Amino acid sequence: MNKKVLLLFVLLISIVSFAQQERILKLNKNSNLIDVTYYHDNGVVSQTGSYTLDGKLQGEWLSFNTEGKKNVSANYDNGRKVGKWFFWTNETLKEVDYTNNAIVSVNEWKRDDKTSLAIRN
């Protein structure tokens, strides 16, 4: 059996055993990554992102609540947290900046009475 096919099979088995949510996996031949979409029980998309062929998170990952509103935007490089991550709630937007899997800075904005966002460190 081809090593890539075997590796893909092992990765798929590990993903299936790890996640209990319904999901769709697809090999992206252009990027050589496995694109994945997870779903909430109600059928709404829960997460989207990609894995490397050896099972590491890669690129942008998005998470959504059960109503389909985006609540997290994250970035990975070969399994390591990098770049700006954003976390949304009804009242706040939090920005966390990662370099080499370590938090470099955190900023938070809160809605005021006029529905604008005010920065808070």
Say whether 69 sits in a helix, a strand or coil.
Answer: coil
Question: Any idea what the CATH number is for the domain that residue 42 is in?
Answer: 2.20.110
Number of domains observed in the structure of the chain: 1
> Could you identify the residue written with the tokens 């099979």?
9
pTM over 0.85: no
Query: Read out DSSP for 63-108?
Result: EE-TTS-EEEEEEEETTEE-EEEEEE-SSEEEEEEEETTEEEEEEE
- pLDDT digits 0-9 by tens, 72-108: 999 999 999 999 999 998 889 999 999 989 999 999 9
Q: 62: which 2 tokens?
A: 């998005």
Domain coverage including residue 114: 3-120
